[in-house]
């Protein structure tokens, strides 16, 4: 399975930069798939700008729409149902444009109810610096439960797109996607997607950070030199704050 991912990532790098909106997306982006028409944002993609012919090559009987069968939030989710035709990697994506000059948190839920034998599904993100790069956030096999995915996408894109540069100017996230990877030779896929969120990292974690700071101060006030338990708790909160601080640089 590892080979499949490597091949997929390799194919996705260095694509011609066409079809990308130049308008920046407003944060937060929240796709809860409750509103009619919200499914239109999610488009088929296969290593390049989508065409009807290309979609027909890789899958048939495609049904994409909002469904009340399963929902992580509210009453609906996005449902994708199709028969696979060939290949090892296909995906649907939403085009966006978010400058990575600040830390951004991407999260979402998928429910892969039916997958071809040996295939997996997952979420991923795509970015542009000098070329297009993309990467999976994780994968799951067929499942009857919602599976969550989350990542500090600026941190991940920096490592992927410009590992040598401290602060790559002009690095953008240009899409999130849902992929299916594995032998895709004729079997059915049914997958649901809900609660995709792209938000400012600090806004997302402001409550947790404030809580950690308050607890740290409270312990500091009463700390005695020989109090080993509180010292250990103190360093736990200090480490957590340091970790958030690093993610925001
Ligand atoms: Ca929903």
Ligand 1 centroid to Cα of residue 174, in Å, is 23
The domain boundary residue, chosen from 200, 215, 236: 200
- Per-residue pLDDT, 179: 94
Ligand 1 centroid to Cα of residue 195, in Å, is 6
- Per-residue pLDDT, 22: 66
The domain boundary residue, chosen from 170, 185, 200: 200
- Per-residue pLDDT, 197: 97
Ligand 1 centroid to Cα of residue 70, in Å, is 9
Ligand 1 centroid to Cα of residue 62, in Å, is 21
Report H helices in 84-129: none
| Residues 109 and 226 reside in one and the same domain | no
| Residues 223 and 100 reside in one and the same domain | no
- Per-residue pLDDT, 149: 96
Q: Which two tokens stand for residue 163?
A: 């590992």
| Residues 181 and 217 reside in one and the same domain | no
For the chain (length 249 residues), average pLDDT per consecutive 10?
Answer: 38 43 85 97 73 77 96 98 89 94 95 96 94 90 96 93 89 95 92 97 88 87 80 86 81
| Residues 196 and 237 reside in one and the same domain | no
Cβ neighbours, 10 Å, residue 14: 11
| Residues 158 and 56 reside in one and the same domain | yes
| Residues 166 and 230 reside in one and the same domain | no
Ligand 1 centroid to Cα of residue 107, in Å, is 14
Ligand 1 centroid to Cα of residue 36, in Å, is 11
Q: How far apart are CA 178 and CA 92, in angstroms?
A: 5
Q: How far apart are CA 31 and CA 8, in angstroms?
A: 26
Distances from the Cα of 191 to the Cαs of 21, 40, 112, 137, 171, in angstroms? 27, 16, 4, 17, 31
In sign, the C-alpha dihedral spanning 71, 74, 76, 79 is negative
Ligand 1 centroid to Cα of residue 73, in Å, is 4
| Residues 232 and 158 reside in one and the same domain | no
Yes or no: say if 171 and 129 are a contact pair by the CB < 8 Å rule.
Answer: yes
Residue 174: domain span: 2-200
CATH code for position 17: 2.60.120.260
Yes or no: say if 86 and 185 are a contact pair by the CB < 8 Å rule.
Answer: yes
| Count: domains in the chain | 2
| Residues 195 and 210 reside in one and the same domain | no
| Residues 47 and 135 reside in one and the same domain | yes
| Residues 188 and 214 reside in one and the same domain | no
Q: Which two tokens stand for residue 184?
A: 């895709």
| Residues 227 and 121 reside in one and the same domain | no
Which pLDDT tens digit goes with each residue over 43-67?
987 655 556 677 778 888 999 999 9
| Residues 163 and 207 reside in one and the same domain | no
Ligand 1 centroid to Cα of residue 193, in Å, is 8
Ligand 1 centroid to Cα of residue 192, in Å, is 10
Ligand 1 centroid to Cα of residue 65, in Å, is 12
Ligand 1 centroid to Cα of residue 66, in Å, is 9
Yes or no: say if 63 and 79 are a contact pair by the CB < 8 Å rule.
Answer: yes
- Per-residue pLDDT, 227: 80
């Amino acid at each position: 399975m590892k080979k499949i991912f490597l091949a997929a990532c390799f194919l996705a790098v260095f694509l011609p930069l066409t079809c990308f909106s130049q308008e920046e997306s407003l944060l937060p982006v929240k796709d809860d798939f409750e509103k009619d028409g919200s499914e239109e944002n999610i488009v088929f993609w296969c290593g390049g700008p989508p065409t009807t012919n290309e979609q027909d090559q890789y899958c048939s009987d495609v049904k994409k729409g909002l469904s009340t069968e399963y929902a992580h939030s509210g009453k609906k989710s996005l449902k994708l149902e199709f028969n696979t035709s060939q290949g090892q990697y296909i995906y649907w994506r939403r085009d966006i444009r978010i400058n990575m000059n600040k830390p951004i948190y991407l999260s979402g839920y998928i429910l892969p109810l039916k997958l071809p034998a040996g295939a997996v599904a997952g979420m991923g993100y795509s970015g542009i610096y000098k070329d297009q790069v993309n990467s999976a956030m994780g994968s799951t096999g067929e499942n009857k439960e919602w599976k969550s995915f989350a990542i500090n996408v600026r941190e991940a894109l920096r490592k992927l797109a410009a590992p040598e540069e401290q602060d790559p100017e002009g690095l953008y996230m240009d899409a999130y996607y849902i992929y299916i990877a594995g032998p895709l030779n004729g079997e059915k896929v049914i997958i649901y997607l809900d609660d995709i969120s792209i938000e400012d990292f600090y806004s997302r974690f402001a409550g947790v950070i404030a809580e950690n700071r308050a607890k740290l101060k409270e312990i500091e006030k009463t700390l005695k030199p020989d109090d080993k338990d509180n010292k250990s708790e103190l360093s736990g909160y200090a480490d957590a704050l340091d970790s958030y601080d690093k993610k925001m640089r």
